[in-house]
Structure 1
Amino acid sequence: MEESEYRKYDCLIIGKIPPPIGGVTIHVQRLLDTLKNKGFEYKFMRLELSNLSKIILTLFKYKFFHLHASNVYIQFLFSLISKLSGKNSIITYHCDLSRYAGFKNRLLLLSVRLSKYPIVLNENSFKIALNHNKNSQQISSFIPPINEKPITEEIINKINKLRSRYSKVFATNAYGIKYDKNNTEIYGILDLIEVFNNTADFSLIISDPSGDYYEYCIENKISVNQNILILNFPHSFCEVLKLSDASIRNTSTDGDSLSIKESLYYNKLTFATNVVSRNQSVITYKRGDYSILFKNIEPPLIDKSKLDGSVELIKLYNKIINEANHTVL
């Protein structure tokens, strides 16, 4: 890439886009799509260990960089580079800031302190972040989809069959079987399978593009009744939500779940564990107590304009660019 190409852009975005499909990669992809749609010029570099030295050398050519990474050590590295070089940095912390313990927690909070503009996703993390960096901001991870791929007629027919047979269709999602620091299954999918196996009137769609849960159930001879549909291949969870009545986020830990914001955006009844602070329109419950899922509750009306995190991100981008230009002048 020639030097002249860099000068055209002020913003370097560092992260990953699908594949794999996950909350962070989808957020980054939608951010890039939205910026392009609004004519905001940027450069994107995919975050890979093999690409790390190139990214570090490249970021000095831009007015600021915006990092999306889940790895605590990567977050710390880029925040340290930002502090030592004076380079404007935005780091989005996609996990709750109280997720880790011990050394990892100390390193995470140090990176918050060192980065120029830390972005967190929920109220609990925002309170923690402000104690370490007065520039901390809380911005939603949700960005409305622009180029969402339609689901196939086969999936639509399967979901419609569930709708015709059961009084309510729930949707939940995951990407692979993962465990938290207490060795608890993070997404709580196996718990939900057990709950819905013992429910005659309701159905559940499990979106897991990795296929891990489908394979796990086969290998461990876990019964999956006809009211449960596992989608074990790449597909749009948004399109699944549109055909569902409600969503469940049965996690043991969380950030500011993208799937929750998607559910609210489509005015779906939205249930989530109370492990972190949630949007006031979310119906929270203690994991393990699933009785509330089957009560007759009407979905709340949502102001969709307040859900779109790209609005605040672009404001922050423009603020940094204007300040940088003013400093040069």
Structure 2
Amino acid sequence: MAIRPNTLGGAKLPSQSRAAHSQEAVEVLIVGGYPPPTGGVTIHIERFHQFCQKERFPIRIITQFNSAPHKDVLRLKGGAVIQLFHLIYLILRFKGKIIHIHAARFNKLLYGGLPMIWAASSKVKILTYHTDAGASAPKGALKQWALKRILSRFEYLICVNENQKEYFANNLGITKNKLLVIPSFIPLQNIPDNVSGEIRDFVHAARKRVDYLVISTGYLTEIYGYDMIIDAVKDIPGKTIGIIFVFYTSTDKTYQKILSRKMKSFPNIWSFQDLSSDDFFYLIQHSDVFIRANREDTYGMVVGDAITLGTPAIASNVCKRHEGAILFESGNIGDLREKIITTLEDLSEVKKRQPAFSEQNFATNVLDLYKRILSEKL
């Protein structure tokens, strides 16, 4: 079989005929974030990429972020409009069969969805949606109509939980044969080792100031419940507790001001922005408790990561959580405070009761889908 190279922004992509399939051929193009920054979607895509490398299944990734250099990852540059035109060009140039888009906001799909769908009209199009669909749905009849039109053009929509699947079917009119439920969790493969001296020094200094460290991570937006964590921790008597917030990508400026005022009232609180993956997970690993106080959520992959790293995780009961997570009633500060107290009082026993490392890897489900699509189209 003759293989001729084609290019994707400088990264050479092997092509192939429809008559045969080679492991060297690149048949899948993923559009989505790649770290840094470190967040739920970017971590998911990075780990899926690592999984595909181990399986010798080549993929290419297009990201809008200034991600770490990698031969399989192309970074879009420029402003939003230039990035969109560049993305359309690259999709048109891609010779493979599958375009897999990862999204965490419907507004992003409304902005660039139709041009992407047009550019990928000859491909099998897959969408994985990582956010609570009902909570992030656009308002207004015109936007709802446009969103339904865009979503209907995908051959497959991957939902990360059953509630999301029901919303797509019942509220957005997506036929159920297009909807697949595949949770986003892909296990952490490596303990962080390339940690900056600054982060190591911070942990050492913080440990001297407080008895316990609790940590929470996510977008700097209201749904993550950072204010609730401060309110829950500040009234706990007897022990000095420090709070670490790690924010990434999106920021709600109004909520940022509210949270900033609340943070000033608490003596031992620190925040970081857009850390590297190793620094991010090192902080989680060296904290006593991880807290996921989201008012809306789909799974919270980082909850599973915390448990994998040996850090007990307390999470709101808004969705299915990773095995071993300690749940509290969403929005209930008193219940969150009680869960923090009981966890810290019995910390060594809580850690002993945590489940062993989970071998379940939902990346396998996605790769199986790719292989099935390719076998059907060859």
TM-score, length-normalised on structure 2? 0.70
Match of 1:46 in 2: 63
1:285 to 316, 319, 329: 329
Decide whether the 8 Å contact of 2:84 with 2:112 is kept in 1. no
Match of 1:156 in 2: 200
> What CA distance in whole angstroms lies between the structure 1 residues aligned with 2:290 and 2:301?
12
1:17 to 28, 34, 38: 34
Structure 1 residues 237 and 20, CA, compared in 2 at 3 Å: closer, same or farther? closer
> What CA distance in whole angstroms lies between the structure 2 residues aligned with 1:106 and 1:294?
48
Q: Percent of aligned positions with the same letter in both sequences?
A: 23
Decide whether the 8 Å contact of 2:227 with 2:259 is kept in 1. no
- 1:1-329 matched pairs, under 5 angstroms: 2=6, 5-7=14-16, 8-47=25-64, 48-59=83-94, 61-70=95-104, 71-73=108-110, 76-77=113-114, 80-81=117-118, 85=121, 87-99=123-135, 100-103=137-140, 104=143, 107-129=146-168, 132=174, 133-146=176-189, 150-163=194-207, 166-175=210-219, 177-178=220-221, 185-200=222-237, 201=239, 202-208=241-247, 216=257, 220=261, 222-223=263-264, 225-232=266-273, 234-235=275-276, 236-279=279-322, 281-282=324-325, 283-289=327-333, 290-291=336-337, 292-296=339-343, 298=350, 300-302=354-356, 304-306=358-360, 308-325=361-378
1:198: Cα distance to partner?
Answer: 3.5
Match of 1:181 in 2: none
Structure 1 residues 311 and 273, CA, compared in 2 at 3 Å: closer, same or farther? same
> What CA distance in whole angstroms lies between the structure 1 residues aligned with 2:305 and 2:365?
18
> What CA distance in whole angstroms lies between the structure 1 residues aligned with 2:144 and 2:193?
38
> What CA distance in whole angstroms lies between the structure 1 residues aligned with 2:249 and 2:123?
37
Q: Deviations over 1:282-324 (max 9, x none)?
A: 3132224222222246253155112x33222212122212222
> What CA distance in whole angstroms lies between the structure 2 residues aligned with 1:75 and 1:248?
34
Structure 1 residues 81 and 238, CA, compared in 2 at 3 Å: closer, same or farther? same
Backbone CA RMSD of aligned residues: 3.5
Decide whether the 8 Å contact of 1:79 with 1:112 is kept in 2. no
Decide whether the 8 Å contact of 2:39 with 2:248 is kept in 1. no
1:188: Cα distance to partner?
Answer: 1.9
> What CA distance in whole angstroms lies between the structure 2 residues aligned with 1:209 and 1:287?
22
1:279: Cα distance to partner?
Answer: 3.8
Decide whether the 8 Å contact of 2:243 with 2:270 is kept in 1. yes
* Amino acid corresponding to residue 6 of structure 1 in structure 2: S
Decide whether the 8 Å contact of 2:44 with 2:186 is kept in 1. yes
Decide whether the 8 Å contact of 2:246 with 2:272 is kept in 1. yes
Matched residue of 1:272: which SS?
Answer: strand
Aligned residues: 315
Structure 1, unaligned runs of 5 or more = 179-184
Matched residue of 2:227: which SS?
Answer: helix
* Amino acid corresponding to residue 32 of structure 2 in structure 1: G
> What CA distance in whole angstroms lies between the structure 2 residues aligned with 1:276 and 1:53?
35
> What CA distance in whole angstroms lies between the structure 2 residues aligned with 1:40 and 1:145?
19
Structure 1 residues 143 and 78, CA, compared in 2 at 3 Å: closer, same or farther? farther
> What CA distance in whole angstroms lies between the structure 2 residues aligned with 1:225 and 1:293?
17
Matched residue of 1:174: which SS?
Answer: strand
Decide whether the 8 Å contact of 1:17 with 1:46 is kept in 2. yes
TM-score, length-normalised on structure 1? 0.79
> What CA distance in whole angstroms lies between the structure 2 residues aligned with 1:26 and 1:243?
19
